[in-house]
Every structure is written in C-alpha cells, then in structure tokens.
Chain A
Amino acid sequence: MSVAVATTTGDARPALFRGRARAPSGGPRVDWRLAAPLGLAYLVFFAAPFAILFGISFYADAEQTRLGLDSWIKFYGDLFYLKVVFDTLKLGVFAVVATTILAYPLALVFRAAGPRARQALVLIILTPLLTSVVIRTFAWIVILAREGVVNQSLMALGLTSTPLNLLQTELGLVIALTQIEMPLMLLPLLTLMSRMDQNLVDGSRALGASQARTFFKVILPLTLPGWIAGATLVFASAATAFISQSVIGGARLVYLPALIWQQSTVVYNWPFAAVASLTLLFAVLAGIMVLGLLGRFARTD
C-alpha cells in the first residue's frame, strides 16, 4: 500500500472517502454499489406492492374478474365515503392543533431550563414514545371509561352527577391522540428551540416587546420549520392511527383506516379497499404538501 495507490484509485472510491480537492466540479457522486442493496429492497418490497395496489384498484368487481373504474366511482360517488375521508382529515387537523397548543409551551419551558431539567424533560417525552401505541390506547380506555379516572374525579368534585360518555366520542379520541402523537411534535420542536439564537429573544425584549409579542414575532417564525416537521408527523400518524381510532372511537365513528381494514379482510372487496387505501395515501400526501407550502410561504415572508 502506498500513497500513489490511494490517489490513483480516484473515482472508484466511495463518495465518503474521496477528498474534496480531487472531486469533479459537482462534488462527490452517489456510490450506486453501496446504495443498491437497500434500493433493491425498497423496489421489491415497497414500490412493487404500491404498484400492485394501484393495479388492483382498477378491477370493477370484488372477484377481480373485470377491469373498470367501478370501484373508484362507487367510492367517490357516495357521500358516505366522502364524509369518511373528510372526518379522517379533520381528525388529523384536530390532533395537530391540540398537540401544538400543548407542545409549544413545553418547548418554551425546555428552552429556559437548565441541563439537568432538560435531560429530565427529554426522558418525560421519550417515555410515552417508547410505550407502545396499543398500550397508550389501552391507558386511555382506563382513563376515559364510565368508571374511569376522569369521570370519578368529575363526580368527586361534584361537577357532574352522571358519568360522561367520553369513549366512542370524537372528543375522547382527540384527547387520546394528543398524548399519543405529542412526542412526534415535541422532538423536532425541541431541536429547533435549542438551536435558536438567544440574542434575538433578548434583543426583542430589550427593545420593549412583551413576552407574548416576542413569542409571535421572534420565537414562532424561527421555530416554524420544527413545527412543520412535527405537524407533518402528527397529521400523518393521527389520520392513520387504526387501533386508537377503532378502540376509542368505537364502531360509530368510521375513519378511512377502519374502512380499509373492513373492506379488505372482512368484506373481502380488494379493489374497493385499494381505492380507499390510495385515497388515504393521497389525502395524507396532500396534507403534507399543504404544510410544506406553509413553510415556504413563511420563509419568504
């Protein structure tokens, strides 16, 4: 092994190991040999299944004998299914709003806290994140049930004489999803908060702005990218949270994930389930794009 060998192997070396000086005009290139194994796994096990899903949606009947747009027309021609789509998106929006209202104050407290308190807060945020979603859903049944913690407290305080029905309501579901999804909002928000330049906040305060004004004019715009990252995850996750939706929402509240599951494994109408599934995919992507546009709009502002 000599220095000469190391330098003459030039372009054949993976991007990571190539010096900047020898790199072509555009910098290092993607080493396709290293990217190929994962790329192939994604093509076979990720892209191909979506292609099959798309294909199956164009069968006209549950038995998959005839091609046609019947499944699409059945879904988009029925107000019931359109309302299910609307409710699913609404649930995602509610979850984003609720997690925002609680996550921002916690992130502000985190920013002002010392190193020990910060580490404790990170643990508090990680604990629910590392507790399975099924368990967190189960916990909310214990809390929201007729003889649950909330009802017992309300009755002990004399605020209500009969237990409130919180399970199988949209309100109960939003409360549960707030806890289940909040860590997804907090993690990117905390990263942005700790990176923020304290001088800008101090400057705003020194120039006489109130704390609230400082928050809306300085902190909020500076942490918006973190909020958008968090909101994207919360929205996508809440809209597709099958177990929370079906266990806490019950049979009366129908959302797209339950519809997909029921159509594919109970009714066994795969083309129709494929249409519902693609609709969920596009609806979530549309929501993410709206959030992304919001970020671009905010940055140019």
Chain B
Amino acid sequence: MQRATAGDLAYRLLVRGLAGLAILILLAPVVIVVATSFTTSQTLRFPPPDLSLRWYRELFDPVRSGPIHAAAWNSVWVAGTATLAATVLTVLAALAVARVKRPSARILEAGFLSPLVLPTLSYGLAALMFFSVLGIRPSLNILIAGHLVVIAPFVFRTTLASLAGLDQTLLEASANLGASRFYGFRRITLPLIAPGILAGAFLAFVSSMDNVPVSLFLSNARTGMLPIRMWGMMESTLDVRVAAIAGVLIASTLALLLVVDRLTGLTRRMSA
C-alpha cells in the first residue's frame, strides 16, 4: 500500500542509526566498568591486559578496605530504614489522596512529589543548616531523615498509580457484606496494590543507595556513605577498587531487580 520513497528510506536509516547509538551509549559504560574490574593492571586501561580477581580480593580484604566496608554498611542501613519508613508513611498518604478530585488533594500530591524535581543539592545544604541550627550532631539518624524525604516520592508515585487502577466495586461489595474498613484494606486493597508499593520501594532503596546530594552534606568521616567514599577514591587516585565496587553493586542491583521483577512484573508492565 505504501511506497517507500528515498526520503522515507533516509528517515528509517537515521532513526535506526540513532537508536543504535543510543543503545551503545546506554550499555557501553556498564560493560566497560565490569570488564575493567577484572583487570590485572594497576591502571584503568581498557581492554584489560589480562583477567583476574585481584581487585575483588583487595576490595573484600577487611583490613585494607575497612573504611569501604563501613561506608557500605552505613549506606545499606540508611537505605533500608529510610525505605521502610518512607513506604509506611507514603502508603497512608496515598490512601488519603487517591481518587479525591479536590484542589487540596492536588496540592498535597504536588508537595509529596516535589523532591523529584527540586534540586536535592539545595535541599542537602538546607538540611545541613537545619540540623546544625538545632544543634543536632551528624549521625546516621539525620541521614535517614534526609533520605526519607527525597526517596518518598518514588513510593508515592507507584502506589498512587496502583490505587487509581483499583476496582472500587470490590471495596463497596466488601463493605456491603459487613467487612470493616481495616479488613477491606487488608484483604482487598493491600494485596492489589502490593506490586506497585514493592516496585516503588525498590526504586526508593536504589535511589537512597545512590544518593549523593543529601549524603554530601549530612555525612562526615564517622558516618561515611558509599557513594561519597567512591567519589573520594575517584578524585584522589584512580583506584581500581572503584571498578570492583561497581561490579558488586551492579550484580546485587540486578539480582534485586530480578526478584522484584518476578514479584511485580515491573519490566512486563513497562513494556506493555
């Protein structure tokens, strides 16, 4: 039915070429970092002259890499606690505004989502000033509070989307059959929105593990966080252990993604 003109052919070539370039640019850095982490060399030369687990042994050595381990556990603790707290508070807030078509609900929604677009670096400095004015010393607890605020929008967004797709007649039926509010929430709402909550919690956890702008200002030598320590290692000497940390982080995130994907169908829903 359609004749391909020379223009159409050029258009198709351009689109495919740029799409190929996009995929290359998206994947190449990840591949290169993982390959570099197995190098035998002292330098970050790519391709590596030979392969070994040298830098992973170095990284897992409790003496030589002690500060890195401490920073990694701090990051996991802060991300886990902040994600848990953010998820509980956010699910409640999402229940409060879902399906409400009033300006008050729109304002609350915009407020709860605002950390996504506001520069979190400005917030990091603001949080540092806030805690120091109150005379609160740097600790993992203030990092948890700071992270909670900037990761909550991830859970809020996915939970709200799940609630919007919820069939209201199920809840009405349950209420008409005499079920209490809480029973209806526990037996109907929660199971149906659980995949959305889990997907959001996963994104929140990953984004907390990765957070720089807030940790940059709220952490210190005692409460070191992994991304900040990695930045330090990149700034001073180009330590190959950074590549090994990258390898570990990529592997564990992918493993977590596969589990979450199994439970929530994240990639299936996104590609639908």
Contact = CB atoms under 8 A, between A and B. Distances in A.
A-B pairs with lowest CB-CB distance, top 6: A139-B29, A49-B130, A34-B96, A105-B18, A49-B126, A35-B96
Interface stretch (A66-74, A78-86, A145-153, A157-165): A145-153
A281 interface: yes
B13 to A, nearest CB: 11
Interface string B52-86: 00000000000000000000000000000000000
Contacts of B139: none
Nearest to B105: A30
Given A31-B96, A142-B32, A194 B272 contact: yes
25 contacts: A1-B180, A13-B181, A16-B171, A17-B185, A19-B172, A27-B100, A45-B149, A53-B129, A109-B19, A126-B257, A127-B254, A128-B27, A133-B212, A134-B210, A135-B242, A138-B33, A142-B32, A143-B29, A147-B43, A206-B2, A246-B235, A247-B234, A260-B125, A280-B122, A284-B117
Contacts of A274: 125, 129
B137 to A, nearest CB: 16
A101 B43 CA distance: 34
Contacts of B18: 101-102, 104-106
A139 B32 contact: yes
Would you call the interface of chain A mostly helix, strand, loop, or mixed? helix
B93 A132 contact: no
Interface of A: 1-3, 5-6, 9, 13-17, 19-20, 26-35, 37-39, 41-42, 45-46, 48-50, 52-53, 56, 101-106, 108-109, 115, 118-119, 121-128, 130-143, 145, 147-149, 152, 175, 178-179, 182-183, 187, 190-191, 194, 205-206, 210-212, 215, 232-233, 236, 239-240, 242-243, 246-247, 257, 260-261, 264-265, 270, 273-274, 277-278, 280-281, 284-285, 288
Contacts of B245: 135
